[in-house]
Structure 1
C-alpha cells in the first residue's frame, strides 16, 4: 500500500519507508529555511526501516 501525504499531515505517524521530495531550494529568509529543514527532519524520522531524500541539500 502506498500513502501520499504532506509532511504536516504525516506528523505523529510511522511508516516503514519514507520518501521526501523537496523542491529546489532557494535562498530566502534564514528563519524560513531553518523551519523547512526542521520539517524535513521530522518527515524523515517517520521511517521505521528506510528513508530517502530527493532534493538539494545546501547550507
Structure 2
C-alpha cells in the first residue's frame, strides 16, 4: 500500500480520499469480482488496523 501517494496524485485525489474509495471498492461486489486478491488484501489491512486500534483503546481505558 506504499503506492498511495503516487496513485492518488495521478488521479487528482488526496491520499485520504484515495483510501476511502479503495475501501469502498474492495467492499463492493464489483470490486471483488474485478480483483478478488486485491480486494481481500485491502479488507485484511483494514481489519488489522481496526484490531490494533481496538487493542490500543482497550489499554488506554
Query: TM-score per shorter chain, which class?
Result: 0.3 to 0.5
Comparing both structures, which one devotes a greater share of its residues to strand?
Answer: 1
- Point out which structure has higher relative CO (alpha carbons under 8 A, 6+ apart): 1
Task: Provide TM-score, normalisation by structure 1.
Answer: 0.39
Structure having the higher Rg: 2
